[in-house]
């Protein structure tokens, strides 16, 4: 009787108590997650209390971070926010925009609109370094051009610089109307004019990718990388520029494998309910030997060692971050040896050094058909010096391969001069 009366007279009080009390109790009960696969970062854990950390205001800050990171149903709340954003008619969420044909694009505005105000904290992942204006970081871009030119002057051999366009750079017409995103064709053209060196040549990737986009999917709808086929288009353009023989997709057809259901990094940001998963393609190319930083094992984020048996960490194809399967993710120095090369000459070993961001990971396997040894270096996880690698080994070619979005903000590119 009494409950009925309360229900009738105080329904809001009851509802509110139920929702808040329920979430409060659930939040208290659930155990902590160590890692967020969606965010690619470790989640904050309950901080240990000490008087010192309290007085230094560290404890309260850490505690709030922990409450936020470990809130019950965190992932579902994020999805729910994305739904509300769509209901409000927004075509963007968490820094990515919804383009035509269900492509998700990076929002990176024209530098004429203002200055990038990213602070120097790096990709710390605590949300504090989100810039007010997602605009091309002209200052970092300028520094990176200088680093590249310095490298090209000091290294006597031939260098190819290739800046790959991102999905919105290949298909700017797919962007929402009016969005003042940077014009990558113009921006990359300008970069190429600034790159200098007698032995340096630049490689146009926009034209071949745009042309190929009519026949195949060259960028992912939900991820910031180019597709493996897109990478092949880049590979062909590179080989043509160096007058090297290259492997065709017809020849590779027997090795072609498809992994459907790939939702990439752009999806992780937007979490839009109507995202259309991509299919990730890889080619099971035979190789003789792959080492990472000289070893046949590679260290994982959780501290375990994984054996390196080929070009791909195959178990990653089954998890969310499928792209991490290529070359076992972004590692320092990967050396691939194979008998695939079409340019092989008896008694000689041809070598290429690729200095790359993650765009190089699905690209490098194709190079085994054009060089005997493919050396792949990632400046962001470097345990070596570029100058030392170049001094100790003879390379026929050096290829610097970055995508535009990474190149304009990467703070590790200076290491190319180390």
Partner 1 sequence: MVFSSILFLFRFFPAAMGIYYLTPRRYKNLVLLIESLIFYSWGEVRYFPIMVASILVDYIASNGIQKHRDNKAACRGFLTLSVVFNLGMLGFFKYTNFILANLGALTGLSFPTLSLTLPLGISFYTFQTMSYTIDVYRGKVEAEKNIIDFGAFVVLFPQLIAGPIVRYTDVNRELKSRVITPADVQEGIDIFIRGLGRKVLIANNIGALWTEVSAMNFDVISTPLAWLGILAYTFQIYFDFSGYSQMAIGLGRMLGFCFPQNFNDPYIAKSVTGFWRRWHMTLGSWFREYLYIPLGGNRCTFPRQVANLFVVWAATGLWHGASWNFVLWGLYFFVFLVLEKLFLLPRLEKSRVLGHVYLLFLVVVSWAIFAITDFAALGRFLTAMFSFRAGGEWVYYLRNYGITFLLAAVLSTPLLARLEERYGRRLGWLKNLCLMVVLIASIAYLEDATYNPFLYFRF
User: What residues between 340 and 369 interact with partner 1 by CB under 8 A?
Assistant: 358
Task: Using the minimum distance from each CB to partner 1, give the nearer residue, 91 or 146.
Answer: 91
Judged by beta carbon, residue 34 or residue 254, the one nearer partner 1 is 34
- Strand, coil or helix: what is 333? strand
The residue from 1, 29, 48, 55 that contacts partner 1 (CB under 8 A) is 55
In the bound state with partner 1, the residue whose beta carbon lies nearer, of 246 and 404, is 404
The count of chain residues that interact with partner 1, using the rule CB under 8 A, is 74
> The sheet that has 289-292: what strands, in order across it?
200-202, 159-164, 397-403, 351-356, 373-377, 333-337, 289-292
Q: What is each CA distance from 350 to 336, 369, 395, in whole angstroms?
A: 12, 11, 7
Q: What is the DSSP letter of 101?
A: G
- In the complex with partner 1, the residue whose CB is nearer, 90 or 256, is 90
Residues 81-110 that bind partner 1 (CB under 8 A): 81-82, 84, 88-92, 94
Q: CB nearer to partner 1: give 48 or 177.
A: 177
One residue of 33, 45, 47, 71 binding partner 1 per CB under 8 A: 71
Which of 138/291 has CB closer to partner 1? 138
- Of residues 276-335, those binding partner 1 (CB under 8 A): 301, 321, 324, 329-330
Which residue in 177, 198, 260, 392 binds partner 1 (CB under 8 A)?
Answer: 177
Q: Which residue has the tokens 């086929």?
A: 229
Cα torsion 235, 239, 240, 246: sign = negative
- Please report, as residue ranges, which positions from 109 to 148 form the binding site for partner 1 (by CB under 8 A): 112-115, 117, 122-123, 125-127, 130-133
* Helix ranges (DSSP H) in 155-280: 167-170, 184-194, 206-212, 228-241, 249-252, 265-270
CA torsion 327-216-134-88 (nearest 10°) is: -120
| Least spacing, CB of residue 260 vs partner 1, in Å | 22
Identify which of residues 10 and 418 has a Cβ nearer to partner 1 in the complex: 10
Q: What would the x/- binding string for partner 1 be over residues 12 to 51, using CB under 8 A?
A: xx-xx--xxx-xx--x----------xxxx----------
Cα angle 324, 328, 331 (rounded to 5 degrees) comes to 105
Burial of 384 per CB tally in 10 Å (0-12, 13-18, 19+): middle
Q: Which is nearer to partner 1, 4 or 345 (CB)?
A: 4
3-state DSSP call for residue 370?
A: coil
Count of CB atoms situated within 10 Å of the CB of 186: 11
Q: Which is nearer to partner 1, 19 or 216 (CB)?
A: 19
Listed ranges 154-162, 172-180, 232-240, 363-371: which one lies at the site for partner 1 (CB under 8 A): 172-180
Q: Which of 11, 245, 294, 339 binds partner 1 (CB under 8 A)?
A: 11
Q: Which is nearer to partner 1, 264 or 365 (CB)?
A: 264
Segment interacting with partner 1, rule: CB under 8 A, options 56-64, 153-161, 237-245, 392-400: 56-64
Distance of alpha carbon 374 from alpha carbon 366, whole angstroms:
10
60 binds partner 1 (CB under 8 A): yes
* Interface of this chain with partner 1, residues 237 to 276, rule: CB under 8 A: 265, 268-269
Tell me the backbone φ, ψ of residue 82, rounded to 5 degrees: -60, -40
From residue 268, alpha-carbon distances to 75, 77, 280 in Å are 10, 13, 16
Is residue 62 at the binding interface for partner 1, with CB under 8 A as the rule? no
Residue 356: name the closest of 388, 378, 331, 323 by CA: 378
Q: What residues between 377 and 396 interact with partner 1 by CB under 8 A?
A: 380-381
* Rounded least distance, CB 244 to partner 1, Å: 30
Query: Rule CB under 8 A: which of 149-168 touch partner 1?
Result: none
Output phi, psi for 377, to 5 deg.
Answer: -115, 135
Contact characters 218-237, partner 1, x per CB under 8 A: ------x-------------
Q: Say if CB 314 and CB 306 are below 8 A apart.
A: no
């Amino acid at each position: 009787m009494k409950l009925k009366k309360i229900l009738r007279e105080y329904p809001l009080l009851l509802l509110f108590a139920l929702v808040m009390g329920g979430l409060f109790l659930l939040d208290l009960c659930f155990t902590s997650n160590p890692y967020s696969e969606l965010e690619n970062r470790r989640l904050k854990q309950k901080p240990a209390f000490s008087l010192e950390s309290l007085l230094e205001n560290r404890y309260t800050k850490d505690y709030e971070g922990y409450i936020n990171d470990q809130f019950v149903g965190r992932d579902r709340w994020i999805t729910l926010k994305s739904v509300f954003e769509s209901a409000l008619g927004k075509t963007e969420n968490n820094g990515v925009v919804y383009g035509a044909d269900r492509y998700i694009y990076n929002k990176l505005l024209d530098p004429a609109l203002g200055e990038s105000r990213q602070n120097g904290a790096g990709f710390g992942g605590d949300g504090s370094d989100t810039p007010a204006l997602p605009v091309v970081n002209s200052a970092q871009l300028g520094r990176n051009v200088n680093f590249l030119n310095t490298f090209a002057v000091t290294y006597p051999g031939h260098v190819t610089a290739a800046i790959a366009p991102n999905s919105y750079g290949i298909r700017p017409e797919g962007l929402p109307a009016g969005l003042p995103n940077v014009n990558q064709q113009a921006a990359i053209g300008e970069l190429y004019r600034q790159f200098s060196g007698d032995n340096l040549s630049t490689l146009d990737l926009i034209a071949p990718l745009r042309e190929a986009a009519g026949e195949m999917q060259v960028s992912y709808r939900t991820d910031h990388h180019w597709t493996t086929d897109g990478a092949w288009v880049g590979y062909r353009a590179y080989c043509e520029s160096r007058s090297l023989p290259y492997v065709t997709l017809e020849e590779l057809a027997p090795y072609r494998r498809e992994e459907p259901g790939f939702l990439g990094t752009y999806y992780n940001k937007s979490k839009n309910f109507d995202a259309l998963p991509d299919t990730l393609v890889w080619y099971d190319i035979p190789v003789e030997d792959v080492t990472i930083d000289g070893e046949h094992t590679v260290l994982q984020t959780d501290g375990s060692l994984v054996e390196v048996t080929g070009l791909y960490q195959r178990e990653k194809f089954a998890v969310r971050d499928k792209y991490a399967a290529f070359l076992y993710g972004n590692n320092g120095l990967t050396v691939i040896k194979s008998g695939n090369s079409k340019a092989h000459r008896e008694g000689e070993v041809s070598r290429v050094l690729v200095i790359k961001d993650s765009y190089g990971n699905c690209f490098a396997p194709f190079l085994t058909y054009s060089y005997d040894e493919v050396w792949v270096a990632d400046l962001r996880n470097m345990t070596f010096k570029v100058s030392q690698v170049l001094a100790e080994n003879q390379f026929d070619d050096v290829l610097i391969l970055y995508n535009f979005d990474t190149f304009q903000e990467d703070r590790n590119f200076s290491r190319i001069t180390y």
